[in-house]
Amino acid sequence: MKNKEIVLLLGSVLVIVVAWIAFSIYHNLITSTTPEDLEKEATPINPLFDESTINKLKERQQATPLFEVDTSVQIPTEDISSTFEPTPISSPSPTGTSLAPTASPGGQLAP
């Protein structure tokens, strides 16, 4: 290759690389990276609060949870098995007609 061809090739590559970098910077500037729903949530709140509502909330009765079990309550200890009876389940019983021959007490096959 001649020197003029190499300079022309390198100049073209340089122009393309500079254009690519410029378009990437422009694209990153105009494109938002935060989702729309997050942008809505990130809007600043109004610093003026309704003081009457805040005072009403402060005057509410506070509920404190108890983390102890009341042992004064007696639990009846009747036998649960006496009040409930199991439901009978019918199972198939074997029939007397069998296709296989049966053996007699002496070891002989019975008809």
Q: Using one digit for the tens of pLDDT, what is the confidence trace for 21-80?
A: 999 999 988 887 778 788 788 888 888 888 999 999 999 988 888 787 777 767 666 655
d(CA 93, CA 28): 81
Flag whether 75 is in a domain: no
Report whether 23 contacts 31 (CB < 8 A). no
Closest C-alpha to 20, from 8, 30, 12: 12
Q: Do 110 and 102 form a contact (C-beta atoms < 8 A)?
A: yes
Q: What is the pLDDT of residue 17?
A: 98
**Total domains present in the chain:** 1
pTM: 0.32
Residue 4's domain spans which residues?
1-34
DSSP letters for 5-43: HHHHHHHHHHHHHHHHHHHHHHHHHHS--S-HHHHHHTS
* Residue 12 counted as domain residue: yes
